[in-house]
Amino acid sequence: MHTEHKKIIEWALKCLISLGYTLKSNLPEKVLNTPWSYLVRFDTSDGLIYLKHTPELFALEPKIIQVLHDQFHAPVPTVIAHNAELHCFLMKDAGKPLREILKNKFDEALLCRAIEQFTSLQIAVADHVDVFLDIGVPDYRLDKLSDLYKKLISQNELLIAEGLSEAEIDQLKELVPGISNLCQKLSDYSIKQTMVQPDFNDNNTLIELTEHEHQTITIIDLGEIVISHPFFSLFNCLEQIKKHHGLKDEEARYKKIKDVCFKHYINLFESEEDFLKAIATAQLLHLVYGISYQYRFMLACGKEKLIAFQHWKLRDLLKEFRAVKL
């Protein structure tokens, strides 16, 4: 066992015993072990308890969860203890991933309810983003996005290592004014920026069936949130639904799911044409946001670890963006 993992498991065992839990085994079951998350679970007399460890840059998760719970009554995990020094925390079980349920039987209504719950939370948070910025949540708002992009494309050694030539790097740098113009264009619409979960999807949404057959929905994996444009989370959600459930753009059920994603925003536009223009602009900037976020992801997890885990996306994003006409 990794020395760091051994330490956090020892801490978790002491914590659980001090909190009055009876453990069925001192050996937890491994759930996930990636460069960005180590997750194990303990079987106790009071149900399953999860122990999560993250890189330092994502270690804000328990604080973020607490703020969302206390100030917004959000559907988030119940944290029972956390260790800031070891970058880990303990939380109660909140059910099974929605993706698992949908793979068994695609429940469009349940998925729409989960999306509605998330978008409502985004709306609620929009007037209080300073609460999150004050605890260290990264600021990826539109007036910062161009500078975040510039910070990445100034890393010549990194870009050359990604297979880009000097000429291609110069091309990426030439796109900065266009990015700034798009950011201003999108800012002109009346959409408040808010919490963006980079990987909001049906696998980071848990469903628990209560004794009254009521399905409780919990949003998880909140350590990577940033403050930015709400559409960025929704684009990711829709992409993941198409990827994992085989839905197509022209399908009626996909269109319904997409409508639920944007229903809080469409009435803010004078016409459908303006709404579609905003979507198109946001989709271009979603690439810029994705590039900037992948740079942060690399700083958090380490490039070599991500490559070894086959989770290195920066090269592909840069190539895709180079081909875009702003």
35-72 tens-digit pLDDT:
999 999 999 999 999 999 999 999 999 999 999 999 99
Encoded tokens for 273: 């044409």
Task: Kindly report the average pLDDT of the chain as a whole number.
Answer: 95
Whether the per-residue pLDDT at 81 is higher than 70: the answer is yes
Contacts of 65 (CB under 8 A, 6+ apart): 76, 77, 79, 91, 222
- How large is the average pLDDT for residues 106-132? 97
Gap between the Cα atoms of 92 and 80, Å rounded: 7
Handedness of CA 63, 64, 66, 67 (dihedral sign): positive
pLDDT digits (tens, 9 = 90+) for 225-242: 999 999 999 999 999 999
Whether the CB-CB separation of 121 and 244 falls below 8 Å is answered with: no
Gap between the Cα atoms of 153 and 315, Å rounded: 12
Gap between the Cα atoms of 204 and 116, Å rounded: 15
Gap between the Cα atoms of 326 and 296, Å rounded: 24
Percentage of residues in the chain having pLDDT higher than 70: 99
Determine the pLDDT at residue 170.
93
Give the CA angle between residues 16, 87, 94 to the nearest 5°.
55
Whether the per-residue pLDDT at 73 is higher than 70: the answer is yes
Whether the per-residue pLDDT at 286 is higher than 80: the answer is yes
Whether the per-residue pLDDT at 141 is higher than 90: the answer is yes
Whether the per-residue pLDDT at 310 is higher than 90: the answer is no
For the chain, the residue count is 326
Determine the pLDDT at residue 186.
97
Structural domains of the chain sorted by starting position, each given as residue range(s) with its CATH number in brackets: 3-92 (3.30.200.20), 97-322 (3.90.1200.10)
Gap between the Cα atoms of 52 and 61, Å rounded: 10
Determine the pLDDT at residue 1.
61
- How large is the average pLDDT for residues 93-112? 96
Q: How confident is the model at residue 322 (pLDDT cuts 50, 70, 90)?
A: confident
Percentage of residues in the chain having pLDDT higher than 90: 91
Q: What is the pTM of this model?
A: 0.95
Is residue 104 classed exposed, middle or buried when 0-12, 13-18 and 19+ CB atoms within 10 A define those classes?
exposed
- How large is the average pLDDT for residues 159-168? 91
